[in-house]
């Protein structure tokens, strides 16, 4: 059932920041480039694989294991936009591949961060090889257990190559009158979350200028940027209703990625 226009208005104000970044790793904090050499290399903290994802120094390609609960598949437009985002910011001469498949509902909604990790652990099949780095993207059939009142979480980057999109919530809040286009909303949340995985802001890609939001750490302080944390006062990127594309990274965030091996 669709939620009220009031909730939608709150969502539009905070859409880019309706996320959480879980930076805790599942290991002792050591990192490794290759799962064959280090089977815990995909269990590190968010942002720690920034250079591996951005540059071709170790990995020449990316495979995105995109797993969704039946009935909660993202649009092809959103997937294409995500791949285009990766191509525009990473050096991967052997390309970017999306391996998409459906699974049955885990049946645990609303999902805690611990449950999301467990779903990945039970279903992930793609891991780093000698030349290819693997990414896990899960599209859930329920909401986040971290929702509170009118504040909703649309996605979470929770490991160095892992993120979840709360697809049920996105579908509930898009593509009807006075709501954003679903693909625009999906693209915004997907690319924002992956921006954190790429190390933004000050999360693995070192700052080249002072643009981290002092009140909302790990987010950019430029209001028009994809990585901006929009405050509850409503100042910020504006309304996605009627927009044909997601917000873009600003010049300072791009400079951070370029300095750490990206485009």
Cα distance between residue 49 and residue 33, in whole Å: 8
Residue 240 belongs to some domain of the structure: yes
Residue 24 belongs to some domain of the structure: no
- Contact between residue 195 and residue 253 where contact means Cβ atoms under 8 Å apart: yes
Write out the H or E segment, with its range, that includes residue 118: helix 113-123
Residue 107 belongs to some domain of the structure: yes
Residue 224: its pLDDT value, please?
A: 87
Please tell me the pTM assigned to this model. Answer: 0.87
Split into its structural domains, the chain has a count of: 1
At 142, which CATH number?
3.40.390.10
Question: In this structure, what are the phi and psi dihedrals at residue 47, rounded to the nearest 5 degrees?
Answer: 95, -15
Burial class (CB in 10 A: 0-12, 13-18, 19+), 149: exposed
Cα distance between residue 119 and residue 104, in whole Å: 11
Residue 99 belongs to some domain of the structure: yes
Residue 120: its pLDDT value, please?
A: 98
14 Cβ contact partners less than 8 Å away, ≥ 6 residues apart: 151, 230, 232
Cα distance between residue 128 and residue 106, in whole Å: 25
Handedness of CA 205, 211, 214, 215 (dihedral sign): negative
Cα distance between residue 136 and residue 157, in whole Å: 10
Q: Which domain holds residue 232?
A: 10-15+44-259
Cα distance between residue 257 and residue 251, in whole Å: 10
Bridge partners, residue 165, by sequence: 139, 155
Residue 246: name the closest of 78, 10, 47 by CA: 78
Residue 23 belongs to some domain of the structure: no
- Whole-number CA gyration radius for the chain: 17
The residue with tokens 């990790």 is 117
Along the 263 residues of the chain, how does pLDDT read in single tens digits? 444 333 333 333 333 335 667 766 665 444 445 555 566 789 999 999 999 999 999 999 999 999 999 999 999 999 999 999 999 999 999 999 999 999 999 999 999 999 999 999 999 999 999 999 999 999 999 999 999 877 788 899 999 999 999 999 999 988 777 788 999 999 999 999 999 999 999 999 999 999 999 998 999 999 889 998 763 222 333 357 778 899 999 999 999 999 999 99
Q: How do beta strands 61-69 and 132-139 pair? A: parallel
Residue 34 belongs to some domain of the structure: no
Residue 27 belongs to some domain of the structure: no
Residue 118 belongs to some domain of the structure: yes
Cα distance between residue 66 and residue 248, in whole Å: 22
């Amino acid at each position: 059932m669709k939620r009220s226009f009031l909730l939608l208005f709150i969502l539009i104000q905070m859409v880019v920041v309706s996320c959480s970044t879980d930076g805790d790793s599942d290991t002792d904090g050591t990192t490794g480039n290759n799962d064959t050499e280090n089977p815990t290399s995909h269990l590190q903290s968010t942002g720690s694989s920034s250079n591996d994802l951005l540059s071709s120094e170790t990995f020449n390609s990316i495979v995105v294991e995109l797993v969704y609960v039946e009935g909660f598949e993202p649009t092809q437009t959103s997937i294409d936009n995500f791949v285009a985002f990766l191509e525009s910011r990473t050096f991967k001469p052997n390309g970017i591949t999306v391996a998409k498949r459906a699974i049955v509902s885990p049946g645990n909604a609303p999902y805690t961060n611990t449950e999301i990790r467990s779903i990945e652990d039970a279903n992930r099949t793609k891991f780093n090889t000698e030349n290819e780095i693997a990414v896990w993207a899960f599209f859930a059939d329920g909401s986040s257990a971290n929702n509170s009142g009118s504040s909703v979480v649309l996605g979470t980057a929770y490991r160095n190559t892992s993120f979840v999109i709360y697809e049920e919530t996105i579908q509930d809040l898009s593509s009807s009158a006075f709501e954003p286009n679903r693909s625009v909303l999906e693209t915004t949340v997907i690319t924002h979350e992956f921006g954190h995985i790429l190390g933004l802001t000050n999360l693995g890609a070192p700052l080249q200028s002072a643009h981290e939001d002092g009140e909302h750490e790990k987010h950019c302080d430029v209001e028009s940027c994809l990585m901006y944390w929009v405050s509850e006062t409503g100042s910020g990127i504006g309304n996605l209703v009627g927009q044909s594309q997601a917000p873009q990274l600003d010049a300072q965030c791009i400079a951070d990625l370029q300095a750490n091996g990206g485009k």
